[in-house]
Chain A
Amino acid sequence: DTAVSQTPKYLVTQMGNDKSIKCEQNLGHDTMYWYKQDSKKFLKIMFSYNNKELIINETVPNRFSPKSPDKAHLNLHINSLELGDSAVYFCASSPNVGRGNYGYTFGSGTRLTVV
């Protein structure tokens, strides 16, 4: 079973479109994250949710809106896509904040290409 699964794996879309990326984890973790890895390969955190509550928002444009219907899911909706949004987006999860130093589990990524 895949621990953290993202869909779709690849997404090619035109500028101005709205798209969503879905993430699900079956590890029972309380915290989920979205990271962005751009063409220079730097991994940057975008959002973090703990039990459906937003706890980190790293000054991401408000065109990006995360939604967590339950603690096992964290979806990312992007409005009015721009060329600069092209990147690989990784979802991750970890046990609850403050419950010790456990590792993150990452998904395999969604490669978004805006044309």
Chain B
Amino acid sequence: DAKTTQPPSMDCAEGRAANLPCNHSTISGNEYVYWYRQIHSQGPQYIIHGLKNNETNEMASLIITEDRKSSTLILPHATLRDTAVYYCIVRAFLDGNKLVFGAGTILRVKS
């Protein structure tokens, strides 16, 4: 599995954009980048995924660099309910479809 590196924690002001970085320099050509989050005491929640192109959905945007060695998850207008651990995962596509979670980034949204 390609490994990811994320900062252990970040703070963001409520209403501002939260930009969460992720490095995945050993990513393979057919591996996707996934983002999940885990709000306290709940199960992880799927946010978004992408291969090469930038992606956007109702929750967030995903920006992947041209060399695919890093990406950024953007929450455009963070709210207090976005406080969670955010996981950047490179999908082990050929390895039984499993997701391997790292330590993630604790995002604290403050009022």
Q: Which of B43, B85, B96, B103 contacts A109 (CB 8 A)?
A: B43
Q: Are B44 and A56 in contact (CB under 8 A)?
A: no
- Other than the given A44-B101, A107-B43, 16 more pairs (CB < 8 A) read A41-B103, A42-B101, A45-B99, A48-B98, A90-B43, A90-B44, A92-B44, A94-B97, A101-B91, A103-B34, A103-B36, A104-B44, A104-B46, A105-B46, A106-B44, A109-B42
From 14 to 64 in chain A, residues with beta carbon under 8 angstroms from any chain B beta carbon are 31, 33, 35, 41-45, 48, 50, 55-56
Q: Which of A55, A98, A108 contacts B43 (CB 8 A)?
A: A108
Which residues of B sit under 8 angstroms from A48, Cβ to Cβ?
A: 96-98
Q: Are B96 and A101 in contact (CB under 8 A)?
A: no
- B-to-A contact residues, CB < 8 Å: 32, 34, 36, 38, 41-46, 49, 51, 85, 87, 91, 93, 96-101, 103
Closest 9 CB pairs of A and B: A103-B46, A106-B43, A43-B101, A97-B97, A56-B96, A101-B32, A106-B44, A55-B96, A45-B98
Determine the distance from Cα of A103 to Cα of B35 in the docked complex, in whole angstroms.
9
CB distance from B92 to the nearest CB of A (A): 10
Q: Are A108 and B103 in contact (CB under 8 A)?
A: no
Which residues of B sit under 8 angstroms from A97, Cβ to Cβ?
A: 96-97
Q: Which of A45, A90, A107, A108 contacts B100 (CB 8 A)?
A: A45
- A-to-B contact residues, CB < 8 Å: 4, 31, 33, 35, 41-45, 48, 50, 55-56, 90, 92, 94, 97-98, 101, 103-109
- Counted as pairs of residues, one from A and one from B, with CB atoms less than 8 Å apart, the total is 56
Among residues of B, the one whose C-beta sits closest to the C-beta of A107 is B43
Which residues of A sit under 8 angstroms from B101, Cβ to Cβ?
A: 35, 42-44
Once A33-B98, A103-B46, A103-B49 are accepted as A-B contacts, the answer to whether A42 and B93 lie under 8 Å apart by CB is no
Determine the distance from Cα of A23 to Cα of B43 in the docked complex, in whole angstroms.
13
